[in-house]
Amino acid sequence: MEFIETIKPFTLIAYYIFVSFVVLLIILDNKKPEKAFAFIFLILLFPIAGIVIYLLFGAQYQKKKLFTKKRYFDNVYLNKINEEQKDYAETLVDSSFAKLPTLFYNIEQVNFTLNNQITLLNNGEGKFPVFIRELERAKESIHLDYYIIRESEIARQVIDILCQKAKEGVKVRVIYDDVGSSLSRSTLARMRESGVASYPYMPVVFSRLAHKANYRNHRKIAVMDNEVGFVGGININDKYINPNKSGLYWRDTHILIKGEAVIDLQYLFISDWYFVSGQKIGLDEVRYRNLSMIKGTVPTSILGSDYGRNNQTIKEAFFRMITSAQEEVLVTTPYFVPDDSILNALKITAKSGVKVTLLLPEKPDSRTAYYASQTYFKDLLKSGVEINYYTRGMMHSKTMIIDEAISTVGSTNMDQRSFNLNAEVNAFMLSKKIAKDLKSNFVYDLKDSYPLTLEMLRRRKWYVKVICSIARLLAPIL
């Protein structure tokens, strides 16, 4: 006992030195002040757990080295094939959005291509029949880049096709996020034996414990033969198909692209493939061959963001879209934890007389984000923003429609994790028809929702308000 009493002061001193060292690391890492304060608050409130969470999800020393290599590849190799392969047509843009193509080029060196055919796909039951059909048609290459590929009936069906196509000589490459996905060793072995090349994105040791690990690949990209592409919010898992075993209706949005914009999806895949495998995909695999078959002229641009390049690109595009609105802004997102720039853009746009409507899930799968989002609602409602809770099931769509003129569909949530940490991708379309079709979906979904009011916020239990306030402090690291 005397020995224990003797070492107690030294243990306490060592502990305080260690905590001080970790806090100093957070400060020197030059994070955004709100993010640094969030981690420091977490460490001071929950000393041991806070330090573990920071070391797992906040420390960036290894990530910076990895992404520096990726950034060099993107800037040198990827930009080179971009310049050699692409011939952009002049795009006619509505006057209110005339500066949007300039913004996209300046932030990510991408353009709006004109020769594109876009098909909206609602929910898994709308996506997967078309997705399976295009997989079966592939003759040269299949590239999949997904956050979630999870053992399920639809995953088995997809993997069966991938294995068969690889045996037929089709080049099949698959990237799956090591946290979001769950593939058994036997499945991976079968894919490998069939000739399917697959790699995990940012492998982790304990994926189940790292549910909110940073720097995840949240993209949902599929490209077949450089001619057909898919992008949106639907992963490869049975729960996205209604009805499902969980009994939870899953509302989501995806799009099928045929045309020049598919090559932009291919560029993002090439970048991710080099990052996970160290292998370069040659120029001969990045040529669109059948533009004459395209029946549409939808000006479309593909923006990607990740920690390796510019993790603010999609957020900047969102900001410009919102602030350019003259009549209405319609947003669906499963998680609403915006930073100050997006929050202010929504409030100021609403105060300017533009109709701003948010559609969020009443019961999302992330409780912390759900509680944190409520702390933004009072200011938004007072500014004139309409907030609606979707009640039919899980609203997982990530869409925005502006003035029935421009719209976006992709993987990006309107939260700080998507804006600052994860690899994301969105398609932006300057098409009144696509915007109107998405708006029709939005209006239909509003029938299964109810508007949130200031009075409802006031009537919440006191402990719910406390939980929301604590969650808000953690918002920068959610």
Q: State yes or no: is 218 an active-site residue.
A: yes
Cα separation, 52 vs 35, in Å, equals 16
Q: State yes or no: is 143 an active-site residue.
A: no
Q: Which residue of the set 238, 403, 415, 445 is catalytic?
A: 403
> Tokens 């080049």, residue?
171
Cβ-in-10-Å burial (0-12, 13-18, 19+) of 427 comes to: buried
Q: Which stretches of 74-182 are DSSP H helices?
A: 79-85, 100-108, 123-137, 153-167
CB-based contact 349:338 (threshold 8 Å): no
Q: State yes or no: is 225 an active-site residue.
A: yes
Q: Which residue of the set 35, 70, 218, 254 is catalytic?
A: 218
Quote the distance between the C-alpha of residue 355 and its chain's center. 25
| Torsions phi, psi for 4 (to 5 deg) | -65, -45
Q: Which residue of the set 143, 254, 347, 396 is catalytic?
A: 396
243 upstream amide cis, omega within 30 of 0: yes
Q: Of 196, 195, 211, 56, give the one whose Cα is nearest residue 148.
A: 211
Q: Which residue of the set 31, 127, 220, 315 is catalytic?
A: 220
Q: Which residue of the set 225, 252, 264, 272 is catalytic?
A: 225
SS3 43: helix
Q: State yes or no: is 178 an active-site residue.
A: no
CB-based contact 151:187 (threshold 8 Å): yes
Q: Could you tell me which residues come within 8 angstroms of residue 217 by beta carbon, excluding any fewer than 6 positions away?
A: 145, 147, 175, 177, 180, 201, 202, 272, 306, 422, 423
Can you give the C-alpha Rg of the chain in angstroms? 23
Other C-beta atoms within 10 Å of 417: how many?
A: 22
Q: Which stretches of 138-152 are DSSP H helices?
A: none
DSSP labels for 198-249? EEEES--S-TTTTTT-SS-B--EEEEETTTEEEEES--BSGGGSSS-TT--E
SS3 61: helix
Cα separation, 252 vs 220, in Å, equals 13
Q: Rounded to 10 degrees, what is the CA torsion of 204, 206, 207, 213?
A: -70
Q: Of 342, 355, 313, 312, give the one whose Cα is nearest residue 443.
A: 355
Q: Which residue of the set 347, 398, 415, 445 is catalytic?
A: 398
Q: Rounded to 10 degrees, what is the CA torsion of 397, 403, 405, 411?
A: -20
Cα separation, 50 vs 370, in Å, equals 21
Q: State yes or no: is 398 an active-site residue.
A: yes
Q: Which two tokens stand for residue 242?
A: 């209604």
Q: What are the catalytic residues?
A: 218, 220, 225, 396, 398, 403
